Chain A
């Protein structure tokens, strides 16, 4: 019988074997058994330990001020990356030969990867839950309400889960690329360093490498955590700390009262306008609360001020004294507000659109790496013996 006819006949009688969907459940069962027998559960206590260490460091910093929030966001993103990477970095390469054998016996690579996606998602959910619980235990404080739900912790859970899961899928891909566990474990630190450097949280990067930062998970992880923690509305503590350290610095010089009055009276000078708004403390000759502006206007309105304007003031004081005169609270508020305005980042905007776009990017990473893992493993038959 010619082969064409035989094939046509056989197509009608074709025996059906398990398809992609039902193979997913076979492999998921296998992975759950591995969770117990191969000690894959070890990643859960490890997540608790890492979260505990980081939690102790960030508990008085996260959501307190800009620097603390940024540092904490980076640390939390690193915890998620670390957990995700360690979950799956070895899972494929350690059984590569077994996969090759099973692929030749009818296993679908897409089913295998899909089962990994489900299994790893479960692991990531558990780890994220553990991280948040440990943070709660060590006293990390969050805002009360989230951008998408009534509870901040729900939004935060989604963010941490997506960062962990994206890192997990990235490692799954590395694991499918590397032929041995040694190779995978050698590559992993390099990947982690790249994630750390290009996150944008450690140092400002040159313009040329900006496209690279758009292609790393940590960048979106950092953005989404900082945005949810409302980084932009927090004070910049380092500016006031710097002023405080300067309190003993001496200020020497001379200036006429006229120069001071002209400066403070200039309507086009916004800085002068702000100083005019400052309240002068009661006491001494002042019997009521006045602003600097009121005082300047009073002096300018006084006809006798002409002589006063020529008087020279010799300044021989310290920064601390000036601050005391102006009122420490007011100066502090002024300095922090001014510095905050310069430190605000559009990337960390506390908005649904910003957080949503970061979540979307992380989901894209998950899908991209899962697809890459599938494509990579499809070539497993070409492995050298």
Chain B
């Protein structure tokens, strides 16, 4: 089994020009010429249009459909590899037909994802959906590619590379002091790699939260609230230093995971287990091994009493009301008496009375010397229970930044708003119905910190 120079040429021809024949080559060249300009219009490098597989991904970035682009380019890559492989195996052999079937399957997958990318592109260019017919066919896609690429009247609604590091100049540069008690967060950067590209989710967040404080975490959708709490409790590690009562959350994670309690947004429990066994198993997992069974049982009953779950202790979790499920979810974390307690929207789906009751219970937990951080979208009905507020906002580069950290009173004067929901509105982007003043407040807070 070997490959001749001729076969190598065929493979390169299929990869770069789409297949045999002058017509196909011409169509592909025209498509690439159009694509080059489309990429440039979105502030991407035009030569990507010449690279097989990668060009689909780059086009998906223009269309705001990166996940689809990843799948399509991987499927296209698979097709290229299999196509090359089909030259290596004997014609009409089983291997040859396996290659053909796989190529057909991958090509179908790529085609379906490419349709979604073209759909996104149509939205970005604000043109009619009927353009899809031209994009969908390999023989006609060069027409919209050339027109949209080279004619000035076709312009994308937004560009991929936005005004990036203008905000980087506004770094706080400072770090929060590390104390023996309380929580110190010095988060330099939290980023993810998506298809060889780095995306910064959070940047430059520094704070110190004293023990016994109940902190409200505010921010619009996508501001990075959950990412922030996941970085703080060590679930998703960031380029950061998080110190809780003198211990590093990252380097001593195995021990510290028992010192933190995180209540997720959804009630993640087994619906077909009873309330008592759910808590009893949580106690077995989270309490130290040498805690006697009697003490453990007592702790379970104590937590059930605190959260009013004793009357339903034999019920299946699925039979509980929304509020009871929330309380059970919180009780599961509280059972090990953690020093840091983080709750992601614990009051969602609860009415005002129940939400206040819940916050009251959390306040009493904070009063025992714990740090309680709560994310909520309806802060004003329970604001009196909180000591401090953290405001996260997306800057113009769509990175989550710290717009404020301080007491509730300071926050009111900093933002010039009485209500917390108004603060969210101030920092939210205009397209989200906000005032779009995030950059302004981020810069202002950096100045305050420098001062």
The answer to whether B257 touches A104, judged by C-beta atoms less than 8 angstroms apart, is: yes
**A330-362, CB < 8 A from B:** none
CB nearest neighbor in A for B317? A37
Q: Which of A3, A6, A16 has its CB near the most chain B CB atoms (within 10 A)?
A: A3
Question: Nearest chain A CB to B387's CB is how many angstroms away?
Answer: 26
Question: Nearest chain A CB to B91's CB is how many angstroms away?
Answer: 15
- A-side contacts of B246, CB under 8 Å: 1, 6
- B-side contacts of A381, CB under 8 Å: 235-236
**Contact count band on A:** 35 or more
The answer to whether A22 touches B289, judged by C-beta atoms less than 8 angstroms apart, is: yes
The answer to whether A18 touches B289, judged by C-beta atoms less than 8 angstroms apart, is: yes
- B-side contacts of A15, CB under 8 Å: 255, 258, 288
Name the contact of B288 in the complex, choosing from A17, A29, A38 (C-beta under 8 A). A17
The answer to whether A97 touches B257, judged by C-beta atoms less than 8 angstroms apart, is: no
CB nearest neighbor in A for B180? A1
Q: Is B161 an interface residue (CB 8 A)?
A: no
Q: How many residues of B contact A (CB 8 A)?
A: 35
- A-side contacts of B270, CB under 8 Å: 30, 34, 95, 98
- B-side contacts of A34, CB under 8 Å: 270, 272-273
The answer to whether A206 touches B94, judged by C-beta atoms less than 8 angstroms apart, is: yes
The answer to whether A106 touches B247, judged by C-beta atoms less than 8 angstroms apart, is: no
**A1-45, CB < 8 A from B:** 1, 3, 6-7, 10, 14-19, 22-23, 26, 29-30, 33-34, 37-38
CB nearest neighbor in B for A15? B288
**B274-302, CB < 8 A from A:** 274, 277, 281-282, 284-290
The answer to whether B273 touches A30, judged by C-beta atoms less than 8 angstroms apart, is: yes
- A-side contacts of B333, CB under 8 Å: 105
Question: Nearest chain A CB to B272's CB is how many angstroms away?
Answer: 4
- A-side contacts of B252, CB under 8 Å: 7, 10
The answer to whether B285 touches A107, judged by C-beta atoms less than 8 angstroms apart, is: yes
Name the contact of A26 in the complex, choosing from B247, B248, B285 (C-beta under 8 A). B285
Question: Nearest chain A CB to B177's CB is how many angstroms away?
Answer: 15
Known: A3-B251, A34-B273, A381-B235. A23 touches B285 (CB 8 A): yes
- CA A14 to CA B288, docked complex, whole Å: 10
- B-side contacts of A385, CB under 8 Å: 226
- A-side contacts of B235, CB under 8 Å: 104, 381
The answer to whether A208 touches B251, judged by C-beta atoms less than 8 angstroms apart, is: no
- CA A23 to CA B282, docked complex, whole Å: 11
Known: A104-B257, A104-B262. A3 touches B268 (CB 8 A): no
- B-side contacts of A26, CB under 8 Å: 281, 284-285
The answer to whether A38 touches B272, judged by C-beta atoms less than 8 angstroms apart, is: yes
- CA A95 to CA B267, docked complex, whole Å: 12
**B245-266, CB < 8 A from A:** 246-248, 251-252, 255, 257-258, 262, 264, 266
Q: Is A141 an interface residue (CB 8 A)?
A: no
Mask of A191-230 contacts with B, CB within 8 angstroms, 1/0: 0000000000000001011000000000000000000000
Known: A26-B281, A38-B272, A104-B235. A17 touches B289 (CB 8 A): yes
The answer to whether A101 touches B289, judged by C-beta atoms less than 8 angstroms apart, is: no
5 A-B Cβ contacts within 8 A?
A15-B255, A33-B273, A33-B274, A38-B272, A105-B286
Interface residues of A (CB under 8 A from B): 1, 3, 6-7, 10, 14-19, 22-23, 26, 29-30, 33-34, 37-38, 95, 97-98, 100-102, 104-107, 206, 208-209, 381, 385
Task: Supply 9 further A-B pairs (C-beta < 8 A) apart from A3-B251, A22-B284, A101-B268.
Answer: A7-B252, A16-B288, A22-B289, A26-B281, A30-B281, A33-B274, A105-B258, A107-B285, A208-B93
Interface residues of B (CB under 8 A from A): 93-95, 226, 235-236, 246-248, 251-252, 255, 257-258, 262, 264, 266, 268-270, 272-274, 277, 281-282, 284-290, 316, 333
